[in-house]
Amino acid sequence: MIEERYELVSERIREIGKEQAVPEKFRDYFWKMSEFAGMIQELKSCIDRGEYEKLSLSELEGWNKRLYKDILPEHYEESYADPVYAVKMLGEEYGQLLSFLYTELRGAIVYAFEGRTEYMAILFELFVQVYNQFEEPELPGAGSIRETIYWYASDYCDVFAADRIKEQVDPQGCFAAKLIEKSDLSDLRYLYFFGEYISENERKTAEYLNHLPEELIQKMADVYTEGYRVGFVNTGKDLSIKATVNMRFVLGFERVVRKAIENFRKLGLKPVIYRSSVSVVTKRQHMRTGFFGAVPNKQYDYDHKDDQALFFDKQYVERKLEVMRTAFEQYKDLARRHAGPACMETFGEKPFSPKQKEERIKLTEKQEELSLLYDSRSGQLTNTYIPGDERSFTIIAWPVPEIGSHYEEIFQEIIKINTLDAKTYERVQQTIIDALDRGKYVHIFGAEGNRTDLKVQLSKLKDPSKETNFENCVADVNIPVGEVFTSPVLKGTEGVLHVSHVYLNELRYQDLEITFCDGMIADYNCKNFEEEAQNKTYIRDNVLHKHKTLPLGEFAIGTNTTAYVAAGKYGIEDKLPILIAEKMGPHFAVGDTCYSWSEDNKVYNPNGKEIVAKDNSVSILRKEDVSKAYFHCHTDITIPYEELKSITVVTEAGEKIEILRDGRFVLEGTEELNKPF
């Protein structure tokens, strides 16, 4: 039935490429859409006949370029995927709508590789439905096209959204896991079997890893999976009751991923490896969660991050939440035994600062409020079936070749950084924690040029002999070592946080400044754009995630001076991921605390003291109304050592204890941290 449906709509699309039934202004658009769909049909046939996997490396590269050519930066400005070009060629009434349609149809690429014929049929039928409206004697109104898009998203929510829930918890039929485990990873042709865009980064990464000795690959996998295991131990959670782990990574690292799969199986965990979503129904703005290849064009992703605004209303939200609830109920046993994500990130690409295009689709203020409500309710729903106090995670990051000519040296340096001796850091960090636990607040002051002047209030310990405010974090959930962190008291936390430049969630910020009052963001700005309004909107959309304000959810002091010196040596400070950058100075997270959804779990440092500062005055609201407690975001902002004048602990009695001065550790017992300098 599905195959017949697919064949019928495919035949209709092939006819469109020969017709002149729509007004001349729209013919090029629909012809190009038809041409693209025809290419996907050709691809599917090639895969189904078993011919694709027999192609040479150069032939596979040719296919990859064909599939992604039109959205690459050098072609994007003359592609209907670019809302600016679409509006210019098709008019303001239709440009945004048809640009969205063009973008959504591109999801058929990965569906062809995964054999999702039903998904392809659904997309092709959407295209034909819209085309048919332009065949009428009178042009359709924009409202009519919007309605078609609305019912596409609503009607097929129970396909796309329900399948997404299944992919997150069910290891059976995992496309990526099967491909990784069965492929000859020494033959780089395997990279092109995933259906993702493959750039020099993915090819050269896989090639480089193929030349590393087996024991080093095993070491890379071990630090990743052991960090995951230790995360459960350190938070007092029972890993033995879990059955699956979600592995997230960027293509090119399959040799390490294969070893990690073996390690996880020994821990009793089967891999669930789902693809970063390509459907407007399931993706979250421009963020990529799951496995993926190269990002063909970050501006393209950014331009379409709010496409759901075309149909996002209360009725749709209720529909999607009900689909999620039904799917979770169907897979509740699998969900309960899901252990959480193990993430392998990459870094080294050129920092990206997007253009703000007026032509792109944007959420209305009402939709932004509705989006926050959806995030809250879907988060609560997920937590019901995959309890936060029973799951954990780990994150590790590796460089890609784009980082520079010293790629192989940098890679070896990162291996060293990711495997630093945890016991040494544990001992030194405990010295810092002992000083911090004496404090009423901590004062962070920037060096000349850095305008930071911030007071962070600390919880008062009832029994300092048994309790602590700060977690002694070595190498478990956040690899590499090391940092000490706490959930600050919001009342009394105030001042300015400033950093000259920083890279957050794959976006660059210049001269970022945030003002806090009683621990909540009171004002913010940056200098990415000439107009202040654009700068504020940029921060509100991508740091505050459209919330009016956020609390300071975490204060930490990073201690990994080895990473800091390595970054300076190779000039890669602006290319490091927050995972490493946050260990290279004090950092401040806006949003939820590090303990969100698991605040009531007892957590202890290696010295036996219980960490008691896990809540703040916002997160504690979960006991009354959970919808008011969480923001579903946590963004770390680090001040590099060279921008610091001092970090000083101030006690109840007014005594001042310096931790750092002029970018160096000065507290007695921390001298070892200065050795890399």
Return the SS3 of 76: helix
- Domain termination residue (choose one: 396, 412, 442): 396
First to last CA, the chain: 67
Judged against a pLDDT cut of 80, whether residue 67 lies above it is answered with yes
Q: What is the pLDDT of residue 215?
A: 96
Count, in order, helices (H) and strands (E) of the chain: 23, 19
Compute the distance between CA of residue 20 and CA of residue 25 in angstroms, rounded to an integer. 11
Q: Around 189, how many Cα atoms within 13 Å sit in the side-chain half-sphere?
A: 12
> What is the chain's mean pLDDT, rounded?
95
As a whole number, mean pLDDT of residues 604-631 equals 93
As a whole number, mean pLDDT of residues 112-125 equals 97
Q: Assess whether 301 and 445 both reside in one domain.
A: no
Q: What is the pLDDT of residue 576?
A: 85
Is residue 270 in some structural domain? yes
Lowest mean pLDDT among 104-108, 579-583, 588-592: 579-583
Q: Assess whether 13 and 53 both reside in one domain.
A: yes
- State the pTM of this model: 0.89
As a whole number, mean pLDDT of residues 425-446 equals 96
Phi, psi of 289 (to 5 degrees): -125, 120
Q: Assess whether 363 and 493 both reside in one domain.
A: no
Q: Assess whether 209 and 124 both reside in one domain.
A: no
Exposed/middle/buried for residue 206 (C-beta within 10 Å: 0-12, 13-18, 19+): buried
Element (DSSP H or E) covering residue 661: strand 656-661
Compute the distance between CA of residue 184 and CA of residue 388 in angstroms, rounded to an integer. 37
Q: Assess whether 93 and 241 both reside in one domain.
A: no
Lowest mean pLDDT among 89-98, 164-173, 599-608: 599-608
Judged against a pLDDT cut of 80, whether residue 506 lies above it is answered with no
The band of 579, judged by pLDDT with boundaries at 50, 70 and 90, is: confident
Query: Which amino acid, residue 152?
Result: Y
Q: Assess whether 382 and 451 both reside in one domain.
A: no
Find the Cα–Cα–Cα–Cα dihedral 515, 517, 520, 526, rounded to 10°. -10
Q: Where are the alpha helices (DSSP H) in 267-331?
A: 298-303, 314-330
Is residue 453 in some structural domain? yes
Return the SS3 of 67: helix
Q: Assess whether 148 and 252 both reside in one domain.
A: no
Longest dimension (CA), the chain: 84
Judged against a pLDDT cut of 90, whether residue 677 lies above it is answered with no
Q: What is the pLDDT of residue 286?
A: 84
Residue 557's domain spans which residues?
421-672
**How many CB atoms within 10 Å of residue 324?**
21
- Domain termination residue (choose one: 155, 190, 223): 155
Is residue 219 in some structural domain? yes
Find the Cα–Cα–Cα–Cα dihedral 609, 610, 614, 616, rounded to 10°. -90
Query: According to the 3-state scheme, what is the secondary structure of 196-235?
Result: CCCCHHHHHHHHHHHCCCHHHHHHHHHHHHHHHHHHHHHC
- Domain termination residue (choose one: 380, 396, 412): 396
Judged against a pLDDT cut of 80, whether residue 475 lies above it is answered with no
* % of residues, the chain, pLDDT over 90: 88
Q: Assess whether 150 and 290 both reside in one domain.
A: no
Q: Assess whether 432 and 531 both reside in one domain.
A: yes
Displacement of CA 280 from its chain's centroid (Å): 16
pLDDT in tens, 224-275: 999 999 989 888 899 999 999 999 999 999 999 999 999 999 999 999 999 9
The band of 573, judged by pLDDT with boundaries at 50, 70 and 90, is: confident
The band of 473, judged by pLDDT with boundaries at 50, 70 and 90, is: confident
Compute the distance between CA of residue 575 and CA of residue 205 in angstroms, rounded to an integer. 17
Residue in this structure with the two tokens 């430049």, named with its chain if needed: 501
Q: Assess whether 461 and 378 both reside in one domain.
A: no
Query: Which amino acid, residue 388?
Result: G
Is residue 181 in some structural domain? no
* % of residues, the chain, pLDDT over 70: 100
Residues 663 and 641 sit within 8 Å (Cβ to Cβ): yes
Q: How many domains does the chain have?
A: 3
Residues in the chain: 677
The band of 503, judged by pLDDT with boundaries at 50, 70 and 90, is: confident
As a whole number, mean pLDDT of residues 106-124 equals 97
Is residue 183 in some structural domain? no
Minimal CA–CA distance to 345: which of 525, 214, 505? 505
Q: What is the pLDDT of residue 421?
A: 84
As beta bridge partners, residue 485 has: 471, 556
Exposed/middle/buried for residue 655 (C-beta within 10 Å: 0-12, 13-18, 19+): exposed
Return the SS3 of 411: helix
The band of 284, judged by pLDDT with boundaries at 50, 70 and 90, is: confident
Q: Assess whether 107 and 256 both reside in one domain.
A: no
Is residue 465 in some structural domain? yes
Q: Assess whether 442 and 588 both reside in one domain.
A: yes
Judged against a pLDDT cut of 80, whether residue 318 lies above it is answered with yes
